[in-house]
Structure formats: C-alpha cells, structure tokens
C-alpha cells in the first residue's frame, strides 16, 4: 500500500464539481482582484474566527509581514518567537530589518513556554512584538502569553498558519490577541489552489493599516500615504475558499478521528504521541510523533510505501541565515531535542481507516510488536 503525507486531490473530491462551477462563475464575471468574492470570504472568515476584521493577502508569509508592519514595527525593533517553526515566522519580518529573538518551547505542546517568555522579556530590551505559533494545530497558552506581554508593553500576533479552527478554552485561535496570521497554502487545514493568506484582528487601526499595506500604501485611488506592497488574496482563491470554509469543521473532525485511531494502535509502543492539553481543541494540521530512532523508523516506513516528513529538522536559530544573531547549539535545548526526534506521519481528512491502520501497524512491526 502507498500512503502519502497529504492527499489534496482526494480531500476535495466530494466538492470538486462545486469548485469547478464556482471557478467558471468567477472566470466569466471578469473581476479578479479585490472584488465581491474576496470581501465575502473576508466577512465569512472573520465571522468564523470571531474577529471584527479580516484582510486577505497573498500568503501566510505576507500576513505575518503586513501584520507586523501594521503594528508599526520598524527596522531595529525586535520580535520574539520560537525556534521550531517554519522559517517564514521569522523571515517575514527579519527581511525588513526587524530582529528575531527566540524563546524555547514546552516539551508537551511544542509551543512557546510562557515561563521562559516571562524570563526573556525581563532581561531583553527592545522587543515590540511576540509571535506565538500554534504549531501543528495545537493552541499556545494564550492567557499566560498575552498577560506577560501586556505587562511588558509587547503586542501579540498569533501565527495561526497551521491552526484553522483550533480552540483555546472554547475560543477560536486567531482572535485571542492583537492580530493573527493565517496561511491558505494548499496543504493547510483550509487550503487554496496556490498561495493565499489572511490577517484577523479586532483593532481598527491595524485593520486600516493592513488594508493600505496590501495595496501600495494606498488610502484611496491614486493616493499613497505610506509605502506598501502588492499582496491580495485574489477572487478565484477567495471564491474557492468560501466553499471550503463550510467544510473546515467536518474536515477537522475527520483529522481527529484519524488521531483517535493512531492513538488506539500506538499507545503501548515506545513512540511519544502528540499531546492535547485539557483546555485545547487540537486540529492536527500535522500528526507529529517523537522517537529516538527517527532515521531508522522513517527508512522502514519508506520501504513499506509510507511517506513521512520532518517539521522541522533544523531549529531556526541554527539556520545559516541567522548565524549573524549569534545563537549557538545548546541555546534552546527543548527545540533542539525535539527537532532530532520528530516525524510527521500521514494525516488528511480523506485518509481511510485501513491506511491509518497500515501506518500504525507498520510502526508496531518496526518495534517487533504484535499488530
Ligand atoms: C507556522 C507557519 N508560519 C508561516 C507559514 C507561511 O505561510 P505561507 O506558506 O502561506 O507563506 C507557514 C506555512 O507554510 C507555517 O506553517
């Protein structure tokens, strides 16, 4: 049997005709940028997340970049995030001269450790923004993080690129701080057919500035008050995302059913399974296990026709691009430990039970355990 980490074509098979009809409708309408579809999707997405505003942009990276600049960050300011995230969390702002500072993670949620954040903010000056990442679809400890940041006058932008529909204490992530960034990269829990992203916020100031930044700093036609970009979520993507948004909760439930099966099959193995805090609703964008013998297990699964990935093999502070920041190996022990042990197993809403069982039982076989 062949099992891939994702299966995008199969995931949308039950709405394929609806997507094609919508594509044709938008094509024939002849309005492709900042029209009725993008406005309708922004309204639907902000209603779904529970924020006053949403601004569609070109990617998750652009959502972080425009979001950070809409908070008035400028070159020389600092922001704090974790080292075990996608490089984009840091690079979206560091390319504008805004300096990343890292904070280690917890070993259960793999997210920013609020105690370490509190310690860091006491000693490090110049941090203007904190970017907690709801990694793999598990929410961060937002009450603690927001509290600490308020005490230090630091703004908070959630990186919710992997967590569409995740809940923190019954509330959707993406509406728990000053603003949030979402990605609609095709493999995400809510993905489009190219690149796309969204900023969500309750702040009118951030909203207005983000609207300008995404269209050449324009306040009205041919009036440019600030420097900006060209970064919009286009009409076709927005129209297709509106259809897919209605499926998001049921797709997330399917992911959770797959997780339930994995857990049932793997509970008694040496594998460290993903954790879900009692206050969290994890949406399992990725199903990340931890094992000491990572390379051997990945090789064994590959021989069985099962693809796996590593999110992420090198913590950001050890990437070549950030050598200039001066971090050494050993600076963030938890992130470094985790990066050497993690494997992302296949998970996607249309994954069949026999595929999940095949993956799980292959892992049991690797450990010489009965199916
Ligand atoms: C945690 C995280 N942040 C940021 C991004 C960047 O999003 P995009 O690929 O849409 O630019 C991604 C996705 O790739 C991500 O997983």
* Residues contacting ligand 1 via CB (< 6 Å): 59-61, 85-86, 88-89, 133, 159, 161-162, 183, 185, 195, 197
Please report, to the nearest 10 degrees, the dihedral formed by the alpha carbons of residues 158, 62, 85, 170 taken in order: 30
Q: How far is the CA of 295 from the centre of ligand 1 (A)?
A: 25
CA-based torsion, 65, 70, 71, 72: positive or negative: positive
pLDDT at 23: 98
pLDDT at 298: 98
pLDDT at 371: 85
DSSP letters, 116-149, are HHHHHHHH---EEEE--B-GGGPPP-HHHHHHHH
Going from the N-terminus, what domains does the chain have, and what CATH number goes with each?
Answer: 8-103+110-245 (3.40.640.10), 248-366 (3.90.1150.10)
Q: How far is CA 227 from the centre of its chain?
A: 27
Q: How far is the CA of 184 from the centre of ligand 1 (A)?
A: 8
What is the rounded distance in angstroms from the CA atom of residue 214 to the CA atom of residue 62?
9
3-state secondary structure 11-54: HCHHHHHHHHHHHHHHHHHCCCCCCHHHHHHHHHHHHHHCCCEE
pLDDT band at 102 (very low <50, low <70, confident <90, very high): very high
Q: How far is the CA of 94 from the centre of ligand 1 (A)?
A: 15
Atom of ligand 1 nearest to the CA of 64: 4
Atom 12 of ligand 1, residue of closest alpha carbon: 161
What digits encode the pLDDT tens for the residues 241-287?
999 999 999 999 999 999 999 999 999 999 999 999 999 999 999 99
- Per-residue pLDDT, averaged over 193-207, amounts to 98
Q: Is 242 helix (H, G, I), strand (E, B) or coil?
A: helix
pLDDT band at 93 (very low <50, low <70, confident <90, very high): very high
What digits encode the pLDDT tens for the residues 308-329?
999 999 999 999 999 999 999 9
- Per-residue pLDDT, averaged over 325-342, amounts to 98
Q: What whole-number percentage of the chain has pLDDT above 70?
A: 100
pLDDT at 249: 98
pLDDT at 4: 96
Q: How far is the CA of 80 from the centre of ligand 1 (A)?
A: 17
Q: How far is the CA of 200 from the centre of ligand 1 (A)?
A: 15
Q: How far is the CA of 291 from the centre of ligand 1 (A)?
A: 25
Atom of ligand 1 nearest to the CA of 196: 10
Atom of ligand 1 nearest to the CA of 135: 1
Atom 7 of ligand 1, residue of closest alpha carbon: 60
What digits encode the pLDDT tens for the residues 20-50?
999 999 999 999 999 999 999 999 999 999 9
What digits encode the pLDDT tens for the residues 6-18?
999 999 999 999 9
| Alpha helix positions (H), the chain | 8-11, 16-29, 36-49, 60-70, 88-94, 114-123, 142-151, 204-213, 235-245, 248-266, 294-303, 333-339, 353-366
pLDDT over threshold 90, residue 237 = yes
């Amino acid at each position: 049997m062949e099992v891939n980490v994702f299966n995008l074509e199969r995931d949308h098979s039950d709405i394929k005709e609806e997507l094609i009809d919508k594509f044709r409708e938008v094509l024939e309408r002849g309005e492709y940028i900042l029209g009725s579809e993008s406005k309708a999707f922004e309204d639907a997405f902000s209603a779904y997340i529970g924020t006053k505003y949403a601004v569609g942009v070109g990617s998750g990276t652009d959502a972080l970049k425009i979001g950070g600049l809409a908070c008035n960050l400028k070159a020389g300011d600092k922001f704090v995030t974790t080292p075990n995230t996608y490089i984009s969390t840091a690079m979206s702002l560091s390319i504008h001269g805004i300096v990343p500072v890292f904070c280690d993670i917890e070993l259960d949620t793999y997210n920013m450790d609020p105690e370490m954040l509190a310690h860091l903010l006491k000693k490090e000056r110049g941090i203007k923004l904190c970017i907690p990442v709801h990694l793999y679809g598990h929410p961060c400890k937002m009450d603690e993080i927001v509290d600490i940041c308020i005490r230090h006058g630091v703004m908070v932008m959630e990186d919710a690129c992997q967590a569409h529909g995740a809940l923190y204490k019954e509330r959707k992530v993406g509406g728990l701080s000053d603003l949030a960034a979402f990605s609609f990269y095709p493999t995400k829990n809510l993905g489009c057919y190219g690149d796309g992203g969204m900023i969500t916020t309750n702040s009118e100031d951030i909203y207005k500035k983000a609207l300008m930044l995404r269209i050449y700093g324009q306040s009205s036609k041919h009036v440019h008050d600030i420097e900006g970009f060209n970064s919009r979520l286009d009409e076709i993507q927005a129209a297709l995302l509106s259809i897919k948004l209605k499926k998001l909760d049921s797709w997330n439930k399917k992911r959770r059913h797959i997780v339930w099966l994995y857990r049932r099959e793997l509970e008694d193995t040496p594998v460290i399974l993903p954790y879900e805090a009692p206050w969290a609703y994890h949406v399992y964008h990725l199903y990340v296990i931890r094992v000491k013998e990572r390379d051997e297990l990945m090789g064994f699964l590959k021989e069985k026709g099962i693809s796996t990935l590593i999110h992420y093999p090198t913590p950001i502070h050890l990437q070549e691009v950030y050598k200039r920041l001066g971090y050494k190996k050993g600076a963030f022990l938890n992130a470094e430990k985790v990066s050497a042990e993690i494997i992302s197993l296949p998970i996607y809403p249309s994954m069949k039970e026999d595929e999940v069982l095949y993956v799980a039982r292959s892992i049991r076989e690797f450990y010489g355990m009965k199916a």
